[in-house]
Amino acid sequence: MTSELVRLTVAQARRLLDRREVSAIELLEAHLAQIERLEPRIHAFITLTPDLARRQAQAADARIARGEATLLTGIPIALKDNLCTVDAPTTAGSRILQGFVSPYDATVVARLREHDAVFVGKTNTDEFAMGSSTENSAFGSTRNPWDLDRVPGGSSGGSAAAVAAGEAMLALGSDTGGSIRQPAGFCGIVGLKPTYGRVSRYGLIAFASSLDQIGPFGRTVEDIAILLQAIAGHDPADSTSVPVAVPDYRAALTGDIRGLRIGIPAEYRVGGMDPAVEEAIEQALVTLQELGAELVPISLPHTEYALATYYIIAPSEASANLARYDGIKYGLSLPGETLLERYLRTRGEGFGPEVKRRIMLGTYALSAGYYDAYYVKAQKVRTLIKRDFDEAFARVDVIAAPTSPTVAFRLGERTADPLQMYLSDVFTIPANMAGLPAIAVPCGFVHDLPVSLQFMGRPFDEATLLRVAHAYERATSWHTRWPKLAVEV
């Protein structure tokens, strides 16, 4: 029975819960049993919260009994460990925040509490969300459920692995340059980065404030729509949150994409792309045509500068955001004979090598004599990248592209070569630079590892993205496959 419960979609679980054929406690215990069985091998979580989850499941059962359940009442959810929670530590995968408990909840967490969702734990992440493999965490690497010798992607690799392995039905992550979509792709599940400003960032530990966005992981597009519905919407506590109406995302899942124009950018065919991945993407495009969509060749000419632009803007913002970790206000605090020595010891021992690398890159780009040459120029190129997308969306409804140029790579394979690691996000970064919504969906397997297709949409038009992704999902069966270790008895 446990294996059957952890393989339910949210929509299926909702029906069973509402008919009282299964309780929220039973659903939770099935997932906790899966965590106990698999977590020693996968390490998707930094902190598990079984006692909290049981209290929440009991409250959910009471709400269901009163006939007041929402779509998320009683659903086990994992939270990326850079989302503040009042009743569990928030480390952002860094020693400098080890043991820190926030005095407030992130807005997305508070909204899920209102639904009586059930929090099973805080998931592993690259330190301060800086990475593409979840190997930069101060608390150890997460492993891909499809192959334990491979990475789950990053930085939200813990959230992706937890959902892929049946340790949680849904999860939240954050996406600064692909940190939801790339791990969703590597782990064979669905991941959505909403439009910048669609979901409140209040209570998200900042990496790069003009790029960060919180979004959902799930096993199906419908599950993603359900979770997005709960967390989307304006928040006065976040000055970048936009007061735009939130549509009914599940109503958009019509399965009909006849006449929809899908842009195929020439610039997303890059050297070093796995030919088998490219073939899987081509077959996915054929499926979209068979569903009645029109494929339209487009050009996004400044795409080739997106990666370089990102690695000036993101580290610059990180340099400013991470200045607050000084050993005085919260988190790790190491003694020193002078205030400066205290700062140096705390930051020197508290931050890992990738975080230090990005702080140095960002500080350099913002320094006198280089600010105009690097940071200002990067912001101008960012404008050109967004303009490319604006022009493309005058002709097409969505844009299709690979999520990643390869399948999941081996643990340790790219840690010594930062450039190769950064290239993992070459297809996902442009959407962040332009503030656009983008979704990753399973579209095949290569070497028994998942391949992922990405759709990008107009600002605040997540509904169309979900509609296209859902139509593709209905026409294929890739999303129904599970890693062997997740279903073995």
Alpha carbon of residue 411 to chain centroid: 20
**What tokens does 450 get?**
């998942």
- Which amino acid type is present at position 173? G
| Run of H or E including 47 | strand 45-48
| Residues linked to residue 150 through DSSP beta bridges, in sequence order | 410
The whole-number pLDDT of residue 2 equals 65
Q: Go through 225-239 and write b for each residue having 16 or more CB atoms within 10 A of its CB, e for each that does not.
A: bbbbbbbbbebeebe
- The answer to whether residues 278 and 243 touch, using CB atoms and an 8 Å cutoff, is no
Structure tokens at 461: 């038009």
Residues 6 or more apart whose Cβ sits within 8 Å of residue 386: 433, 434, 435
84: three-class secondary structure by DSSP: coil
- Closest C-alpha to 123, from 89, 72, 150, 74: 89
User: What pLDDT score was predicted for residue 1?
Assistant: 58
Concatenating the DSSP letter of every residue in 92-120 gives TT-GGGTT---SS--HHHHHHHHTT-EEE
Mean pLDDT, consecutive 10-residue stretches, the chain (489 aa), reads 88 97 98 98 98 98 98 98 98 96 98 98 98 97 98 98 98 98 98 98 98 98 98 98 97 97 92 91 98 98 95 97 92 93 95 96 94 96 98 98 97 89 92 98 96 98 98 98 91
Query: What pLDDT sits at residue 330?
Result: 87
* Per-residue pLDDT reduced to its tens digit, 84-140: 999 999 999 999 999 899 999 999 999 999 999 999 999 999 999 999 999 999 999
Catalytic residue among 132, 155, 156, 424: 155
Cβ proximity of 45 and 122 under 8 Å:
yes
Q: What angle do CA 194, 200, 203 make, to 5 degrees?
A: 125
Domains and CATH numbers, the chain: 2-262+394-487 (3.90.1300.10)
Note whether 298 and 389 are within 8 A (CB): no
Q: Got the DSSP string for 216-241?
A: EEESSHHHHHHHHHHHBS--TT-TT-
Q: Is 121 exposed, middle or buried (0-12, 13-18, 19+ CB in 10 A)?
A: buried
Provide the edge-to-edge strand list for the sheet that holds 438-446: 45-48, 118-123, 76-80, 170-174, 214-218, 190-193, 438-446, 449-457, 398-402, 261-265, 294-298
Q: Which of 179, 200, 319, 424 is catalytic?
A: 179
* Residue among 463, 405, 422 at smallest CA distance from 194: 463
389 φ/ψ angles, rounded to the nearest 5 degrees: -65, -40
Supply the pLDDT for residue 417.
86
List residues bridging with 78 in a β-sheet.
121, 171
Between CA 451 and CA 191 the distance in angstroms is 13
* CA dihedral of 47, 92, 160, 484, whole degrees rounded to 10: -50
Indicate if 155 belongs to the active site: yes
pTM metric for this prediction: 0.97
Note the pLDDT of residue 61.
98
Place of tokens 């991941």: 191
CB 479 within 8 A of CB 473: yes
378-418 pLDDT per residue, tens? 999 999 999 999 999 999 999 999 999 999 999 999 988 88
**Percent composition of the chain: helix, strand, coil (DSSP 3-state, to 5):** 45, 15, 40
Q: How deeply is 242 buried, as exposed, middle or buried, from its count of CB atoms within 10 A (0-12, 13-18, 19+)?
A: middle
| Cis upstream peptide for 94 (omega within 30°) | no
The CA-atom distances, in angstroms, between 225 and each of 177, 252, 296, 413 are: 21, 9, 27, 35
Cα 238 to its chain centre, rounded Å, is 20
Which residue of the set 80, 137, 200, 316 is catalytic? 80
**Token couple for 10:** 């949210």
Question: Which distant-in-sequence residues (6+ apart) come within 8 Å of 341 by Cβ?
Answer: none
